[in-house]
Amino acid sequence: MVAIRDIMTPDAQCIGESDTLTDAARLLRDLRVGAVPICGNDNRLKGMVTDRDITVRCTAEGGNPSEVTAGELGESKLVTVGADDSIEEAIRTMSEHKVRRLPVIDGHDLVGMVTQADVARNCTEDLAGELIEFISDADVT
């Protein structure tokens, strides 16, 4: 079995829950990613913020990204995958929660991120079919 830790991008960076969305946008730009985990002052995961969240849920609603914090906007229902979980588990989790990327945890520690692309590059043809079906779902974020 291929474990998620074998295919993930290690050393994921967090945005602090009290950092602004402008800070989050800069981090997304600098890392060249579309989502970043939100970590609390206790170093535990608090949520995720995406470039789309900043645009649609803040700016388009008249919010000021320099005043709204990542913690205020971040998804409160955080979905993760364990570092030792299988690719199949990641696909099930992504499909069930309609997400394209997952923070990878080992215990309570953030150890990486896994994306649909990571999974697709490392799964069987049958699983790739499931993933393609999932990707074609327009409601996925």
- Whole-number pLDDT of residue 141: 57
Average pLDDT of span 29-54 = 90
pLDDT digits (tens, 9 = 90+) for 63-118: 999 999 999 987 667 899 999 999 999 989 998 888 889 999 998 889 999 998 89
- Spatial CA neighbour of 48 closest among 97, 106, 120: 97
Banded pLDDT at 48 (limits 50, 70, 90): very high
Put the strands of the sheet holding 9-10 in their side by side order.
9-10, 109-115, 101-106, 81-82
Average pLDDT of span 36-43 = 87
83-103 in b/e form (b: 16+ CB < 10 A) is bebbbebbbebbbeeebbbbb
Banded pLDDT at 59 (limits 50, 70, 90): very high
- Whole-number pLDDT of residue 70: 95
Q: Which helix (H) or strand (E) holds 37?
A: strand 35-39
Q: Is 3.10.580.10 the CATH classification of the domain at 4-135?
A: yes
Q: Is the pTM of this model over 0.85?
A: no
Average pLDDT of span 12-16 = 93
Q: Which helix (H) or strand (E) holds 115?
A: strand 109-115
- Whole-number pLDDT of residue 43: 74
Where do the domains of the chain lie?
A: 4-135
Percent of the chain with pLDDT over 70: 89
- Looking at the DSSP assignment, which residues form a beta bridge with residue 112? 10, 104
Average pLDDT of span 15-34 = 96
**Does residue 51 register a pLDDT over 90?**
yes
